[in-house]
Chain A
Amino acid sequence: MEKDSKLKVFIENIKFPLLAILLSFLIGALFIIWTGNNPLVAYWALFSGSLGGLDKFGQTLLKTTPLIFTGLAVSFAFRCGLFNIGAEGQYVIGALTTVAAGYILNSVFGDLPGFILIPLIMIIGALGGALWASIAGFLKSKLGVHEVITTIMLNYTSIHVSNFFVRTALNPSTLEGTTQKAHTVLLPESARLTQLREIIPWFGYSSVHTGIFIAIICAIAAYFILFKTTLGYEIRSVGQNSYAAEYGGISVSKNLILAMVISGMFAGLAGATQVAGLTYKVDMAPASPGYGFTGIAVALVGKNHPLGVLASALLFGILSNGARKMQIAGIPREVVGIIQGIIIIFIAGERIVKFVSKIRERRNRKGNVEGVN
């Protein structure tokens, strides 16, 4: 009996996102037809290119990894009623502190073995993101400053802060005396995450690394914190009704800061794993990489549930890896961006369903009233 109702809730929860995804693909198909291509061919390229074979799937998982983290970041904050638009900036700072930590630890303590160095730089990367997010959390809880604007402003600030350190303190020219480069020093070999193809050769050319496991563990941890601990209960209470929570003896300001800090840790880890698993350095960048904004979409499609986030991050990973494959097949990759945007609009406008039914209801009622008269 209990299981039955749980299943019903589950179906009820994923019904709308699935419908939104389907509709978005249909609208995307119109754009593909416009380019003079067959949408079936295009979507075949997209899905077979990102799922057909372990090497291709590995590349999809690589794209999925940062999205799980930023999706978790956005949804965790949202559970506390906070809108973290700043996962983007927390990602950037997390990546920066990871490179700095890897370089400094390795040169201060000599060659540390990987099993010590990797956990350390992951923690420092997470703390970097947490620290950056805590600015917004602190301003929100102490001064009531809306977190949407502060996190957006901190996103842009983070790029310039990062570029400053890339150009100065962390540049190979400063630390190693080599020529000035447009990126930081490289992370020492022992600080790098293992690539899955080194364990399982079938992953072929794909660069997926053990960061994906850290991401999955984080999703489980987020689930556990949110639904099995007192802290999670308090955070969700504040998110549902902060006045009621306060009345019930829960400190709103403490939970706001904590939720933001944990959210920032996830986003910071996105940067940390990206650096330790894939890029090994931070580049000069004119703009942020966009993982934070996609994270909003991931959280939204995943219904702000950690396990939903895993599924929707995979969807966005498929889309982002498949976009390149579609481009090779001669279809502009922007079609995927359009599909993503439309998915968000449909899900944000979930009430469109209620709206349509309300109009119908009103029309019926009007009809009835006229009938009576």
Chain B
Amino acid sequence: MLGVIIAVVASALRLATPLIFASLGGVFSERSGVVNIALEGIMINGAFFSILTTEFTDLPWLGVLVAAIVGILTSLILAFLAIHLKADQVVTGVAINLLAASLTAFLLEMVWHRSGQTDPVESAIRAKPIPLINKIPIIGDLTSQLTPFVYLAILAVIVSYYVLYKTPFGLRVRAVGEHPRAADTVGINVYKIRYICVMISGALAGIAGSALSLGAISLFREGMTAGKGFIALAAMIFGKWHPVGAFLACLFFGFTEAIQIQASTLGLGFIPSEFLQTIPYIATILALAGVVGRAVAPAADGIPYEKGER
């Protein structure tokens, strides 16, 4: 039984990891006032380019870096359209998702000359037992099932919290997301803050993609994000646009997925798997409806800012 519990916890942490990165990305973007529906598309780009890089260089960590860079580049499309052109952020996000899905599938055919999925890369980022710690009974068993991405995700949560709530930059970000006019009046460059935040969001969502491909199945498959970008968005809302809240929501969603996978082993086979799969979405709707304490978005979220508007 202990083995099963450890397996479920480990699998929940692994499943939550891509969500955590993407969801933190959502927090940064939306805290500054830009709705990021494009997380899904940025993730699929990150997943693809990290595998592509690893395939040709055998350097998986370079793959992660490239995923972050590609994520930033993709997010710049959103940033430019949303911030400068004041385009509808939701439409732009939907377009980026479509574009990324098509582009990666196209490149897959161009590089690997087949569709569906790539070959597995030889050097992926896998779980490794940590010396000394793996001698400790329960923790050792657990940690030897976790990839470095899991630790990186937890680190990202701490750093995000620190940046948003303990630094002058974070204060500016929150000011821009709540009241851009006031922020502008005290000399904060609203456009610059929003650009930086959307780019951070792109980098994080790109890494989320690499955690999904390099960190889980070491290959790229068409449509492998399967709505994870939207679940990350849901986790962000469920966690009330707060890094720690988003992290906890991701863990919760990771657990529901892990339980659903292990349902029969856990003796929960009588619960329809579809029911467990809908939990993240229904929880989010309930959170928005105020059932579990009201979730309020940053006041300027989704609203383009016009300099010199009165």
Contact = CB atoms under 8 A, between A and B. Distances in A.
A161 B99 contact: no
Contacts of B200: none
A111 interface: no
B226 to A, nearest CB: 6
A348 B81 contact: yes
Contacts, number: 132
Contacts of B274: 160-161, 163-164, 167
Given A139-B289, A287-B226, A296 B94 contact: yes
A264 to B, nearest CB: 16
Interface string B81-125: 100111110111011111101110110011000010000000000
B95 A334 contact: no
Contacts of B88: 348
Interface stretch (A5-13, A63-71, A146-154): A146-154
Contacts of B99: 337-338, 341-342, 345
A153 B295 CA distance: 15
B284 interface: yes
A340 B115 CA distance: 20
Given A35-B110, A340-B98, A355-B84, A160 B90 contact: no
A53 interface: no
A138 B202 CA distance: 33
Given A154-B281, A157-B278, A145 B103 contact: no
Contact of B91 (A153, A296, A352): A296
B85 A351 contact: yes
B106 A334 contact: yes
B92 A345 contact: yes
A156 B231 CA distance: 9
Interface residues of B, number: 47
Interface in B147-187: none
Interface in A112-160: 135, 139, 143, 145-146, 148-150, 152-154, 156-157, 160
B103 A334 contact: yes
Nearest to B115: A332
Given A344-B91, A345-B81, A351-B87, A157 B106 contact: no
Contacts of B288: 139, 143, 145-146, 149-150
The prevalent SS among residues of A at the interface is helix
B105 A332 contact: yes
Contacts of A83: 90
Given A287-B227, A335-B106, A349-B85, A344 B94 contact: yes
Contacts of B16: none
Nearest to B84: A355
A300 interface: yes
A146 B96 CA distance: 21
Nearest to A160: B274
B65 interface: no
B297 interface: yes
B237 interface: yes
Contacts of A340: 98, 102
Nearest to B102: A337
A157 B281 contact: yes
Contact of A139 (B90, B109, B278, B285): B285
A34 interface: yes
Contact of A149 (B96, B101, B109, B233): B233
Contacts of B109: 332, 334
B308 interface: no
Interface of A: 31, 34-35, 83, 85, 135, 139, 143, 145-146, 148-150, 152-154, 156-157, 160-161, 163-164, 167-168, 286-287, 293, 296-297, 300, 332, 334-338, 340-342, 344-345, 348-352, 355
